Structure 1
């Protein structure tokens, strides 16, 4: 059994199996970066800001899952019919 030890080889393998994997990582990075940037200039309570940031992260996750579902529907149902 071959074991991948480097992060780049694991990321490449996951990207080949799941094409939306890099998009998910990018979405997480964008939300986390935006959250850290805005944390310094926030107005209001910290707890409210963190709740809003969590909501943004969850919305990003649900959006990426939705895109993945639509992509699978396209590749499984629509694309084979148009090629025939």
Structure 2
């Protein structure tokens, strides 16, 4: 989970490194940084999950995923259970 400070850092990163995020589905700019981090399992048993920060359009619900490493977020290693 992201802390409120990390959520703010994500919003600031997007506002300073890119144009204001616009939903590709409905075109609105009303976005929310989710607290939960998405963990995508990888095929190899010895590899860790691929993690993504979730940005959600508050109008239509479309999700966009961003790499936390590129944003400079320090997240603890994820653990997945089989």
Select the structure of larger CA radius of gyration.
Answer: 1
TM-score of Structure 1 vs Structure 2, range by shorter chain: under 0.3
- Larger RCO, structures 1/2 (Cα 8 Å, 6+ apart): 1
Q: What is the TM-score when the length of structure 2 is the normalising length?
A: 0.27
Structure 1 length-normalised TM: 0.26
Larger helix share, 1 or 2: 1
